[in-house]
Structure 1
């Protein structure tokens, strides 16, 4: 029974980690290097992550700088950022690429909160699926006479408590992200 709980907890931790990763990609009013994590540059015919072609930094809260190690990559990096759908416009001065993060409008902030809420719902669904799988496994063990009915009920209660705990954590993460997005 403990292995079922441990497995369920591990899977719920992964769902929470995936949510955090999705949140880090959401654009808030601040410049962060994680905004560009999903950007892939077509570099000599190979899709390459931006951080493998250049150093990415945030000198202030509204600017991201990209300094490519290969001068020939400037145009490819600019093109990849424009095509990424992030709504960012790179400015190339020949030595460095600068991206200014404009302040978000109220409508855009509300849209981002909706996107964040969607990510939270996906994480909750994943956690509920983990709960369902764990409960089915406990039921199967009971039917195979590996555990008693009392152990099954206790296990299901423990799985429910675990699920509730992780759902509270996702809600806390959402409220924190919502506050960050709505901050001017």
Structure 2
């Protein structure tokens, strides 16, 4: 039963880290990235769909994103969604191909993005600590169900190790993203 709590906590912490990774993909760094546009929601025939389901997306050059719509009727909707997403660049359409040329980022914008990364990392760390707190309370409640204090203490130590592992992973991801943003 104690192992179930720990496995559940680890699974939920992994989910928090995965969400953080996905959120980081959507941040623009010094170079073009598919992650910047792939999850933009496009209104297509009355349904919102992520861009990656309507087109192939590539980065042929460091500052360019190339989007090739699979259906020519989707081009206008894709273009509109990109403009509304406010990614800091204007799409240029040529037939079924949409080009986004990203302007170089200013030093000020880079610093703002680093702050955004730090805030996102803090939110992810808080989510992990909340998972730890909830499971810690649940484990401590097991004392009433006849589990020994030693078993509970060992489980709490394992829970702390799991927590530390995922918080360190978030810190590392945030540090890597900061370096990526600040490199020119």
Fold equivalence (TM over 0.5): yes
Q: Is the 8 A contact 2:39 2:52 kept in 1?
A: no
Would you say how many aligned residue pairs link Structure 1 and Structure 2?
Answer: 183
Give the Cα separation in 2 of the matches to 1:48 and 1:164.
37
> Shift of residue 63 of structure 1?
0.7
Match of 1:55 in 2: 56
| Unmatched 5+ stretches in structure 2 | none
Provide the secondary structure at the position in 2 that maps to 1:163.
helix
Mapped to 2, the partners of 1:17 and 1:171 lie a distance apart of 13
- In the other structure, the counterpart of 2:162 is 162
Separation in 1 of the partners of 2:163 and 2:119?
Answer: 19
The answer to whether the Cα contact below 8 Å between 2:40 and 2:50 also exists between their aligned partners in 1 is: yes
Who is 1:138 aligned against?
A: 139
- Contact kept, 8 Å, 2:38 with 2:57, in 1: the verdict is no
Equivalent residues of 1:23, 1:177 under 8 A apart: yes
Structure 1 residue runs of 4+, over 2 Å off? none
Preserved contact between residue 29 and residue 101 of structure 1 (Cα < 8 Å): no
Whole-Å Cα distance in 1 between the matches of residues 15 and 58 of structure 2? 28
- Aligned positions of 1:34-53 closer than 5 A: 34-53=35-54
Measured against aligned partners, the alpha-carbon deviations of 1:10-42 in whole angstroms (never above 9, x if no partner) come to 111111111111111111011111111221112
**Structure 1 position 49, deviation (Å):** 1.8
In 2, the alpha carbon distance for the partners of 1:165 and 1:53 equals 37
Structure 1 position 100 matched with structure 2 position 109: no
